[in-house]
Amino acid sequence: MSSTLEPQAPPVLVVGEQVSFARLHGRACWDCDAVSSLLTAAGLIRLQGGARVWEIRTCGCRPKTASTQ
């Protein structure tokens, strides 16, 4: 018996506001806009009304799992 569970697609955050080119392309931190060479993938976003999904990155200034606001 070989039943492979397909990985669930990651949630895509829909953004309605204007986003800078650098942040959209993962060249700057999504949270603080810092340009660093140590940016890590932080999820996927899609602009409201757009079809393209972008991979955003952060410099680590904010924990990935923010349980407290």
| Chain residues that interact with Zn ion, rule: CB under 5 A | 29, 31-32, 34, 59, 61
Are 24 and 55 a contacting pair, CB within 8 Å? no
Shortest separation between residue 31's beta carbon and Zn ion, angstroms? 5
Q: Which is nearer to Zn ion, 19 or 31 (CB)?
A: 31
14 forms beta bridges with 46
| DSSP 8-state symbol, 22 | H
Q: Which is nearer to Zn ion, 12 or 61 (CB)?
A: 61
Distance of CA 18 to the CA centre of its chain: 15
Shortest separation between residue 26's beta carbon and Zn ion, angstroms? 12
